[in-house]
């Protein structure tokens, strides 16, 4: 994602702010359009390259601020077409137009199954995200977002905390909130580990839940996505996790 967070996003921010100096600095530093060697080779045609860079920037701003919202792939294609930045090799296959639908229909099903598990498939899905998500992603990976993982907040404190829980979205086996809250029964492995005095999924989940909830200094909200909300509510009350007036079932 480096081309988006380190090159395209800063340029878009400078363009939106109308900061011509920052815009020029970004283009001069990393764009092939104003590469020093390219400008030298252009000779008397340097003004033409400057005009191309200016027009490409204006078009980029129109694309990302237009409707419908531009996807990452839309922006990548534009950048490649106008040579605003150098597209990394791993993203070059996505910087061109979509293949003919007829060709896709003829693709072998086995190849499609393999591709769905590949890095290429992951990039294809990621690049469908709206471009404006890049800023949120950048803030998240730099640790300045209001969101973080359950493990990532250890040692931090905040006035207000919302803990979002979903076993389905977590797609793992190390933690299981349904089991912790009593909405799901213990497995044979859980029972065997308990009998042997070994750590269980419930033990790990309880510690993680403590970490997240203890980050709150003044107020705490827990959003729990459950397969059966009513049964989960009953289990929470039965095990004394929350009082009745602290639970609200939505949906």
> 123 and 24: one domain?
yes
Evaluate whether residue 96 is within a structural domain. Answer: yes
> 135 and 228: one domain?
no
- The more confidently predicted of residues 97 and 118 is 118
Last residue within a domain, chosen from 95, 110, 139? 139
Evaluate whether residue 100 is within a structural domain. Answer: yes
Q: Name the percent of the chain lying above pLDDT 90.
A: 59
| 115-151 CB burial, b ≥16 within 10 A, e <16 | eeeeeeeebeeebeeebeebeebbeeeeeeeeeeebe
> 71 and 131: one domain?
yes
The answer, as to whether pTM is greater than 0.75, is no
- C-alpha distance from residue 187 to each of 127, 178, 233 (Å): 39, 12, 21
> 181 and 132: one domain?
no
Distance, CA of 131 to CA of 79 (rounded, Å): 13
> 125 and 200: one domain?
no
Q: State the residue range of the domain holding 78.
A: 2-139
Last residue within a domain, chosen from 105, 139, 173? 139
Evaluate whether residue 134 is within a structural domain. Answer: yes
* Count of structural domains, the chain: 2
Last residue within a domain, chosen from 139, 170, 201? 139
pLDDT digits (tens, 9 = 90+) for 111-169: 455 455 577 888 889 999 999 999 988 887 776 666 777 777 788 888 999 999 998 88
> 196 and 98: one domain?
no
> 235 and 120: one domain?
no
């Amino acid at each position: 994602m480096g081309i988006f967070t380190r090159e395209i996003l800063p340029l878009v921010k400078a363009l939106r702010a109308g900061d011509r100096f920052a815009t020029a600095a970004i283009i001069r530093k990393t764009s092939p359009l104003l590469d020093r060697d390219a400008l030298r080779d252009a000779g008397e045609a340097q003004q033409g390259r400057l005009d191309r860079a200016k027009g490409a920037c204006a078009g980029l701003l129109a694309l990302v601020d237009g409707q419908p919202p531009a996807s990452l792939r839309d922006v990548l294609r534009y950048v490649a077409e106008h040579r605003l930045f150098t597209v990394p090799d791993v993203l070059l296959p996505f910087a061109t137009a979509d293949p003919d639908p007829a060709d896709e229909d003829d693709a072998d099903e086995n190849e499609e199954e393999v591709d769905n598990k590949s890095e290429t498939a992951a990039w294809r899905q990621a690049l469908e995200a709206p471009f404006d998500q890049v800023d949120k992603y950048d803030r998240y990976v730099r640790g300045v977002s209001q969101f973080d993982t359950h493990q990532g907040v250890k040692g931090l404190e905040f006035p207000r905390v919302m803990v979002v829980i979903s076993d389905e979205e977590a797609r793992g086996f190390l933690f299981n909130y349904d089991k912790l809250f009593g909405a799901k029964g213990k497995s044979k492995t859980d029972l065997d580990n308990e009998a042997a005095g070994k750590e269980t999924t419930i033990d790990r989940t309880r510690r993680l839940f403590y970490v997240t909830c203890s980050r709150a200094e003044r107020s705490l909200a827990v959003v729990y996505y459950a397969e059966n909300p009513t049964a989960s509510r009953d289990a929470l009350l039965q095990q004394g996790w929350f009082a009745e007036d602290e639970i609200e079932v939505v949906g």
